[in-house]
Amino acid sequence: MQHFLLLLIGSIVLLGPLSAQDEVAFDLRPLDVLLQEAERNSPVLQFEKIDAELLYSDLRLLKKEWANYIAVSASYQVGNVQFIDNLSSGSTPDVRTVTRENVFAVAGVSVRIPLSDFLTKNERRRQLELRLDQERFDLHHKEFELRELVIRQYNDLQRALRILEIRDRDLRFHELATETAERYFREGSMGLDEYTSTFNKSNEAEIRLAEAQLDAQLLYLLLKELVGAEIKA
C-alpha cells in the first residue's frame, strides 16, 4: 500500500496541481452591490415605503383640512322683463310696451367649523406623526434584517463554493488513484482488497462532490431569489 501511495504521489507531481473545473468555481458580485440590489428589489421594503408615503400624505391632508370648512358661492343672472304701461293724458289713452333688462349678481363666503374636528385636530395630527415614525422604524428594521440575511447567505454560498472546489479536487485525486490502482491490479502488483478499497473511496468522493454541488446550487438559488438579480460576476 505504501509503495502504491508513493507511485500515486509521483504521478500527481508529474501531472501538476489539480485545478477546479470551470462549472465548480465562479466569482460572486461584490457584497455591497448585492445589498443594494436586494434593497431595491425587495417587495417587502417597497410595501413598507408605500405605507409610509400614505401616512405622510394623510398628514399633509390634515394640515390642509381648514379648506373643508370654507365655502365660496356666487351666482350671476341676466333677464329681460316686458310690461305694458297704460298712460292717460286727457281723453286719449297712451299704451306703451316697455322692455327692461335686469342683472343680478350674488357672491358670498361661508365658514363652518365642526367643534369636534377643531378640538381633536392636534391629537389626530400627533397620532399620524407617531404612526409615520413607527412605519419608518419598521422599515429600517426590515432593511437591517434583509441586509443581515443577504450577508449570511453570501458567506454561506462562498463557503459552499470553497467546499465544492475541495470536493472536486478530492474526486479527481481518487479518480487518478483508481486509474493507477486498476493498472497495478492488472499487472498483478496490487491485491483485490486494496484495489476494491481504492475504488470505493473514489465512489465516496463522487458522492461527497454531488452533495456539495446540491448544497451550493441551493444556496445560489436562495441568494439570487433574495437579491432579485443575477449574483454571478
* CATH 1.20.1600.10 for domain 2-67+115-227: yes
Pick the range with the lowest mean pLDDT from 2-11, 52-61, 116-125. Answer: 2-11
> Do strands 92-111 and 70-89 pair parallel, antiparallel, or not at all (unpaired)?
antiparallel
Parse the chain into domains and list their residue ranges. 2-67+115-227, 69-111
CA 175 – CA 201 distance, rounded (Å): 9
**Contacts of range 133-142, beta carbons closer than 8 Å, 24 or more positions apart:** 135/48, 135/51, 135/52, 135/55, 136/52, 138/48, 139/45, 139/48, 139/49, 139/52, 142/44, 142/45, 142/48
pLDDT in tens, 198-226: 999 999 999 999 999 999 999 999 999 99
CA 68 – CA 53 distance, rounded (Å): 23
Q: Is 209 in contact with 3 (CB distance < 8 Å)?
A: no
What band does 5 get if pLDDT is binned at 50, 70 and 90?
Answer: very low
Residue 150 has pLDDT above 90, yes or no: yes
Residue 153 has pLDDT above 90, yes or no: yes
